[in-house]
Amino acid sequence: MKILFLDQSGKPGGAELCLIDIAKPYGHDALVGLFADGSFKELLLQNNIPVEVLRTEAIAVRKESGLIHGLNTLRQLLPLINKVVKKARKYDLIYANTQKALVVGAIASFFSRRPLVYHLHDILSTEHFSQTNLRVAVNLANRFASLVIANSQASKTAFIEAGGRQDIIEVVYNGFEPKNYQANESNIKRLQQNLELEGKFVVGHFSRLAPWKGQHILIDALAQCPPQVTAILVGDALFGEQNYVEQLHQQVAKLELENRVKFLGFRSDIPQLMAACDLVAHTSTSPEPFGRVIVEAMLCEKPVIAAKAGGAMELVEHGLNGFLVAPGEPQELAQAIVTCLQETEITATIAKNAIINASQRFDVATINHQIAQLLSERI
């Protein structure tokens, strides 16, 4: 099967990392068409996945955009749509990996007479999207998609509650290659030395810096923890959220935590950094569609404290393979961190359960087989 994948981003987020795993088995029978240039293109090439940047300027529509803005942008997209239509005729199906890709892919599907698959990586709710964007996404999926793949039951439920058709949507979790999360002990020690983390209890937070990702919750919790507890924040602002980054630095200064919070920015050595942590915190204040970081931490055999909402609740069973705390509650988060610090045997057992569970549930070969089977049955 020849597949034209579409993605709006030039930067590798969770949806893009998922796309690499899905496209890789198809080799040169696949093409990833990007709507923006950037480091994601380089990652695709490193994985021997054919890629082409179809548009040089970023699409201006944001999640909160209204109808007028959306219509104006649609007119600007006509050259891109025309290009995708011509490309699509050389492939068996169009696979839209993001919401903007769905808009372009749906129209291209109609004109190229190629089936459309939409991979839903979002919780479609007014917490994250304008009412206009919600209606557009749901109506296009209902009208043009032969299959919608949701990355969690939470994403599927939100799609249906927003008016999406129940008969076209299936849940397939993200896949991971477990061996990619095995870190060398000497490399971990060297990393801890370089980051001056030796002798400290390290809490890792891995996400772009954005208000709903809740880094401020972790910083507040840290102030309530013993002095040896240190946090590393891996990630940076992406979508005009630089003000939030400045607020985080001000918060750290106000709480006098400069020696206990390290801002590491974007990093490519995520498994190694996770291995250098004692635990990983997931602190989203709104429901997360899936939570890649949670599974990655599990595969690194690290205990995870996750916000009890959305897809995270499908990944973590409290007290068995991780900990769940109420979203936006720094005191509860602090208590869980202290538990991990003090109850070392229990925490080690939970981490061991996590790696076994994650390796079985989210193995990339199994996930890719599920997707291939859905495509053969539905397309």
- 3-175+363-378 — its CATH code? 3.40.50.2000
Model confidence at 75, pLDDT cuts 50, 70, 90, reads confident
Average pLDDT over residues 249-260: 98
Percentage, residues of the chain above pLDDT 90: 88
- Cβ atoms 192, 166 nearer than 8 A: no
Is the pLDDT confidence value at 339 over 50?
yes
Per-residue pLDDT at 64: 52
- Two domains, one topology: 3-175+363-378 and 178-361: yes
Per-residue pLDDT at 128: 80
* Mean model confidence pLDDT for the chain: 94
Q: How far apart are CA 131 and CA 111, in angstroms?
A: 27
Name the nearest CA neighbour of 211 among 235, 248, 237, 244.
244
Q: What is the pLDDT of residues 83-116, one digit of tens each?
A: 999 999 999 999 999 999 999 999 999 999 999 9
Model confidence at 142, pLDDT cuts 50, 70, 90, reads very high
Per-residue pLDDT at 327: 97
CA angle 251, 255, 259 (to 5 degrees): 95
Per-residue pLDDT at 60: 56
- Cβ atoms 118, 149 nearer than 8 A: yes
Residue 44, both tokens? 């695709």
Q: Give how far the C-alpha of residue 301 lies from the chain's centroid of Cα atoms, to the nearest Å.
A: 20
List the domain boundaries for the chain: 3-175+363-378, 178-361
Model confidence at 43, pLDDT cuts 50, 70, 90, reads very high
Name the nearest CA neighbour of 87 among 104, 67, 70.
104
Q: How far apart are CA 287 and CA 86, in angstroms?
A: 38
Q: How far apart are CA 222 and CA 20, in angstroms?
A: 35
Q: Give how far the C-alpha of residue 153 lies from the chain's centroid of Cα atoms, to the nearest Å.
A: 15
Residue 77, both tokens? 């997209």
Model confidence at 253, pLDDT cuts 50, 70, 90, reads very high
- Cβ atoms 141, 111 nearer than 8 A: no
Is the pLDDT confidence value at 73 over 90?
no
User: Which of the four CATH numbers 2.60.120.10, 3.40.50.2000, 3.30.1330.20, 3.40.50.620 does domain 178-361 have?
Assistant: 3.40.50.2000
Find tokens 């499908």 and name the residue.
Answer: 314
Per-residue pLDDT at 67: 44
- Cβ atoms 128, 310 nearer than 8 A: no
φ, ψ at 25 (rounded to 5°) = -65, -20
Name the nearest CA neighbour of 295 among 149, 119, 177, 143.
177
Q: What is the pLDDT of residues 161-206, one digit of tens each?
A: 999 999 999 999 999 999 999 988 999 999 999 999 999 999 999 9
DSSP character at residue 203: E
Per-residue pLDDT at 69: 52
DSSP H/E element including 376? helix 364-378
